[in-house]
Structure 1
Amino acid sequence: MLDRRSFLASLSALAAAPSVLSAQDGMVATVTGDVPVRDLGMVLMHEHVLVDFIGADRVSRSRYNADEVFEVALPHLREVKELGCRTLVDATPAFLGRNVALLQRLSEASGLLIVSNTGYYGAAGDKHLPAHAFKESARELAQRWINEARRGIDGTDILPGFMKIGVDGVELSDVDRKLVEAAGIAHKETGLPIASHTGAGPAHQELDVLEQAGVPLDAFIWVHAQAADDAQLKRAAERGAWVEFDGVGPDTVDRHVQLVKMMAEAGHLGRVLVSHDAGWYHVGEERGGNFRPFDTVFRRFVPAVREALGEEAVTRLMVTNPARALARRR
């Protein structure tokens, strides 16, 4: 058992680890500007600072006090920075509460690099899709995301570091297929990776759509993949996709370690990403409700993986794989 000082020292050494990525090229847009992926350090690939589930037709920044959100979230970001995290990927999409100006403020105050996104979220029964998503073509939707990638989000000069989409069910609906097609078009124009909320759903149908469009499948991140069966996970990795186990929490550490071990034994550790899907300030609840901290990966999951698979596996999961997954291709 490591004492706290030794534990933090080992995480800090991993977070620094520039030699691990000395040959790694590529950049990623953070809310404070472009950063070489070799400088991302230890990365949490899927978290949230704020989420508003009211629906695309009613979501509004007038529904919360940004200063209060800042006050609630900042201690959690500072804590995870102290634990060795260097970069946090905020997966809150447009029409679900995305606020890049707030993220930039939190990044500057906490010292964490924060990555935001473009794209539309078609899960949850399409509740979070704007009306124009049903009317416009895949090309028209893609152009909206391309514009954000080139010009900035919501009138700022802050650029997205990836695309966030979401799909429902076991078969792609028409609108969900259109979102995947739009993401493929936008990827080919911008080089941004595509993270899709999928769970146990139609990941391989998404991969088929992207493959037919000529998109390299290592541009695709299967979000919430811990819900799927092992055979589907292995097949996705064999096809080149990223498989993201992002439900790490106090009660799920053992399950996530088992998933990582399974993928490692199958020779696919190099296709695995991990995170909590934690946070968040929940708009509509008093002071955002119960904000789940971002610490379990560092306090419990990382030591468990180190014990099971060794230090190299930790570095691959927390440093090398995220850098490769987030690297912009243009």
Structure 2
Amino acid sequence: MSKINTVLGPVAPAELGAVAIHEHIGYGMPGSELDTTWWKSPEERYTETIPKLRAFHDYGGGTFVDATGICNGRDVDYYQSLSEKTGVHIVAATGFVGGDTALPHFARASVDYITEVFVHEITEEIGHTGAKAGVIKVGVSRGGRMTELDKKIYRAGARAGATTGVSILTHLAIDPEPALAIFAEEGMPLDKVLFGHADDGVNAPLTPDTRILGAGARLGFDTFGYETELPDPPFWARPRQERLDHFLRLSEEGWFDRLLVSADANCSPLGWPGVKGHTVNYIFEQLLPDLKSAGVDDDSLHRLLVDNPAAFLTIAN
């Protein structure tokens, strides 16, 4: 039976509903939990997070993919509680945002060891939660080029994905050639790989989007809402219309079914203040109206938010 692993157990693709494919319940760099300036009690994190997930559910959102991974604040017990309270399916990730977020224990480990960790979290459980990971996260470290550690993690992710049938999300779509080579060597199907952050203001000019799509992979427009028009925009912001035009251009070129969208928002940021006013619900509050105004019809929006992510997330084996 086709399924997707969520923190409360497997669900059928038809149960996913509208999907936010690349989000965070609470993301922080390793060690941020030790910085008392930004420390938050469980009650504070609930207070920040529950209203956002309930609004997501009320807007018609069905599934929230948490792309945090190991070492960056992943808390599966917490995700299970949030899912029970809000009715939102939450998909947890195994893997790492990038090699530069892997703590020394993992950074020094072999490909075989990291692969075993990923496979265990997908097929057995994460910790003692009973929950299985539903996606693998890999990423390019800061600096814009894949490091040797990044390549090791990508290879472990590819082996785990090819073995289990679970899909891969990447952090950044820049410098894709080493990743494409690794995926080919390890037999990882490219239609189960989503190259993320192809749309942000820093990385979009460096991302060979049609090369990635032409190779058979998927592309993530997953930083919607991080706009230069914000009162205090982050460094990766991009003009709202420029991002939308980029998405529409690729859609018109015939790549629509390989595009996935999200806001990459942080419900309760860990170790940094986050971006005020930016939530997962930008998808419903701004993106969908913008797409409708640009002439995208309801059937196409259903494909974008429901069909495309379901095809991507469904476990292949």
Q: Please, what TM-score do these two structures have when normalized by structure 1?
A: 0.84
Identity %: 29
The structure that is helix-richer by fraction is 1
Paired AA for residue 269 in structure 2: H
DSSP-derived class of the 1:77 partner = helix
Report if aligned partners of 1:43, 1:86 keep a CA contact under 8 Å in 2: yes
User: 1:325 aligned to 2:312?
Assistant: yes
Deviations 1:249-290 (A, max 9, x none): 17354233212211112111010000001123123468x895
DSSP-derived class of the 2:254 partner = coil
Indicate which of 122, 132, 150 corresponds to 1:149.
122
* Matched length: 300
Q: Which residue of 1 aligns with 2:234?
A: none
Deviations 1:195-227 (A, max 9, x none): 11024x212321121012221111211111113
Deviations 1:162-190 (A, max 9, x none): 01111124432111110110001111221
User: 1:313 aligned to 2:289?
Assistant: no
Paired AA for residue 58 in structure 2: E
Q: Which residue of 2 aligns with 1:98?
A: 74
User: 1:197 aligned to 2:184?
Assistant: no
Report if aligned partners of 2:26, 2:74 keep a CA contact under 8 Å in 1: yes
What is the rounded CA distance, in whole Å, between the counterparts of 2:266 and 2:144 in structure 1? 28
User: 1:266 aligned to 2:242?
Assistant: no
Offset at residue 54 of structure 1 (A) = 4.0
Indicate which of 273, 280, 283 corresponds to 2:270.
283
After the TM superposition, which residues 91-240 of structure 1 pair with which residues of structure 2 at under 5 Å, given as runs? Answer: 91-122=67-98, 126=100, 128-168=101-141, 169-199=143-173, 201-226=174-199, 227-229=203-205, 232-240=208-216
Comparing 114-123 and 142-151, the one that deviates more: 114-123
Structure 1 pair 320–250 and aligned structure 2 pair: CA distance change class (3 A): same
DSSP-derived class of the 2:21 partner = strand
Structure 1 pair 230–303 and aligned structure 2 pair: CA distance change class (3 A): farther
Q: Please, what TM-score do these two structures have when normalized by structure 2?
A: 0.87
Cα RMSD (Å) of the superposition? 2.5
Deviations 1:29-62 (A, max 9, x none): 11111011122111111111112224499699xx
Deviations 1:58-117 (A, max 9, x none): 699xx5422321222001111111111111111111110000111111111111111111
Comparing 161-170 and 245-254, the one that deviates more: 245-254
Paired AA for residue 309 in structure 1: V
Paired AA for residue 248 in structure 2: K
What is the rounded CA distance, in whole Å, between the counterparts of 1:54 and 1:136 in structure 2? 17
Off by >4 Å, runs of 4+ in structure 1: 56-60, 288-291
Q: Which residue of 1 aligns with 2:45?
A: 69
What is the rounded CA distance, in whole Å, between the counterparts of 2:168 and 2:58 in structure 1? 29
DSSP-derived class of the 1:304 partner = helix
Structure 1 pair 250–97 and aligned structure 2 pair: CA distance change class (3 A): closer
